[in-house]
């Protein structure tokens, strides 16, 4: 059996193109499994996985929990909201206490960029980064790539536009790394205040006109405005943002080609996407959610095989 080149999934930056291909191939097999009448396999029986979430999550948390159950793993869930973290316990102490209960793998989301990297230097369990601040969200990028490949086949030479709040998005950075490693062309589109300086050094192009970006791309991956991370105002109002960067079905229908519309969720309907666009035949947003379970099953299975 092929193996990953790493013991942890901390970010797409650490993966090789071969790692990505292995995850995609394994996810394809698991997608077939989760569409059977009996959706469970005993692949991770006797493996214990802790979901340690220091930040709010709906899709990612449910997706990981379901992936773990489908693989027959034992799971425990930790939420910082009602924990000893509120009493001043450190991240390392919290995780070491969980590991003392003989946990094999940690799935962690944290508000601080680099938190899972720090943890990986101090504990022996495998770590899956479920999002660290504005840094990376590797499983989201992998499921996005998997969803694109289902629609378009090989991504080499394909044109992907990432539109919205690039500055605060961990999804954008992970997607850039994943898409470049698969040979795709990437364009970022959004207000200049929401595009990081020097981002073009990652081999991407930048555009500030959403209609030009849509006309150029094969896939538009639309990101929400992350108001909870914004300490200052980056644009006058949501209404103005929607006017200049919002996407509606009319814009998609006016294109001279069919494009694929994606969104990592949650959608702010009426801001970055109108309901008629989000629910149109262009959209594969719900396919992304379904594929998330298969991709996370693949990641957990491959990391457990490293031990």
| 36 is an annotated ligand-binding site residue | no
Residues 6+ apart with CB under 8 A from 63: 289, 292, 293, 296
| 59 is an annotated ligand-binding site residue | yes
Helices and strands in the chain: count of H runs, count of E runs: 11, 9
| 266 is an annotated ligand-binding site residue | yes
The pLDDT assigned to 221 comes to 98
Measured at the alpha carbon of residue 268, what is the angle toward residues 264 and 274, in degrees to the nearest 5? 100
The pLDDT assigned to 306 comes to 86
User: Both tokens of residue 85?
Assistant: 């973290």
Q: What is the mean pLDDT of residues 141-165?
A: 97
| 246 is an annotated ligand-binding site residue | no
Quick one: pLDDT band at residue 83, thresholds 50, 70, 90? low
Q: What is the mean pLDDT of residues 14-42?
A: 97
First to last CA, the chain: 14
| 45 is an annotated ligand-binding site residue | no
Nearest to 199 by CA among 230, 173, 175: 173
* Alpha-carbon dihedral sign for residues 106, 107, 112, 114: positive
| 233 is an annotated ligand-binding site residue | no
pLDDT above 70 as % of the chain: 95
Among the residue ranges 87-101, 201-215, 250-264, the one predicted with the least confidence is 87-101
Q: How far is CA 164 from CA 113, 122, 225, in A?
A: 20, 36, 7
pLDDT in tens, 197-241: 999 999 999 999 999 999 999 999 999 987 565 566 777 688 898
Give the neighbor-by-neighbor strand order of the sheet with 260-262.
205-207, 185-189, 159-163, 219-222, 260-262
Quick one: pLDDT band at residue 96, thresholds 50, 70, 90? confident
Mean pLDDT computed over every residue of the chain: 93
| 87 is an annotated ligand-binding site residue | yes
Domains, the chain, ranges and CATH? 12-137+289-304 (3.40.50.1370), 138-285 (3.40.50.1370)
- Residue ranges of alpha helices (H) inside the chain are 17-34, 59-70, 91-99, 115-120, 138-152, 170-181, 210-216, 238-245, 249-253, 275-278, 285-304
Q: What is the mean pLDDT of residues 243-265?
A: 95
Q: Are 187 and 160 in contact (CB under 8 A)?
A: yes
The distance of Cα 289 from the centroid of its chain, to the nearest Å, equals 11
3-state secondary structure of 207: strand
| 269 is an annotated ligand-binding site residue | no
* Whether the model pTM is above 0.75: yes
| 88 is an annotated ligand-binding site residue | no
| 224 is an annotated ligand-binding site residue | yes
pLDDT in tens, 167-199: 989 999 999 999 999 999 999 999 999 999 999
Before 296, cis peptide (omega within 30)?
A: no
User: Both tokens of residue 223?
Assistant: 């990101």
The pLDDT assigned to 209 comes to 97
Quick one: pLDDT band at residue 98, thresholds 50, 70, 90? confident
Q: How far is CA 120 from CA 4, 107, 133, 285, 302, in A?
A: 16, 12, 17, 32, 17
Nearest 5°: phi and psi at 67?
-60, -45
Quick one: pLDDT band at residue 65, thresholds 50, 70, 90? very high
186-189-195-199 Cα dihedral, nearest 10 degrees: 20
Q: Is the pLDDT of residue 48 over 70?
A: yes
């Amino acid at each position: 059996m092929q193996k990953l080149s790493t013991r942890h999934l901390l970010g797409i930056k650490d993966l090789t193109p071969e790692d990505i291909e292995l995850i995609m191939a394994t996810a394809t097999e698991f997608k077939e499994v989760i569409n059977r009448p009996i959706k469970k396999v005993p692949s991770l029986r006797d493996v214990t996985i802790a979901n340690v979430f220091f930040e709010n999550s709906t899709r990612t948390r449910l997706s990981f929990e379901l992936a773990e159950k489908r693989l027959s793993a034992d799971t425990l869930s930790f939420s910082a909201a009602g924990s000893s973290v509120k009493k001043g316990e450190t991240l390392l102490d919290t995780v070491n206490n969980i590991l003392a209960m003989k946990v094999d793998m940690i799935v962690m989301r944290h508000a601080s960029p680099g938190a899972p990297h720090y943890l990986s230097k101090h504990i022996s369990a495998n770590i899956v980064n479920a999002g660290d601040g504005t840094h990376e969200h590797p499983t989201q990028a992998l499921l996005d790539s998997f969803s694109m490949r289902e629609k378009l086949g090989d991504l080499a030479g394909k044109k992907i536009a990432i539109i919205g709040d690039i500055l605060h998005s961990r999804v954008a950075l992970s997607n850039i790394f994943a898409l470049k490693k698969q040979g795709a062309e990437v364009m970022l589109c959004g207000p200049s205040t929401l595009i990081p300086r020097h981002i073009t050094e990652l081999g991407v192009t930048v555009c500030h006109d959403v209609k030009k970006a849509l006309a150029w791309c094969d896939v538009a991956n639309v990101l929400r405005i992350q108001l909870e991370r914004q300490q200052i105002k980056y644009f006058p109002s949501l209404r103005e943002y929607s006017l200049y960067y919002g996407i509606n079905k009319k814009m998609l229908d006016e294109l001279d080609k069919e494009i694929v519309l994606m969104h990592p969720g949650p959608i702010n309907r009426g801001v970055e996407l109108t309901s008629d666009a989000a629910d149109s035949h262009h959209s594969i947003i719900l396919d992304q959610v379904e594929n998330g379970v298969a991709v996370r099953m693949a990641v957990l299975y491959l990391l457990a095989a490293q031990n």
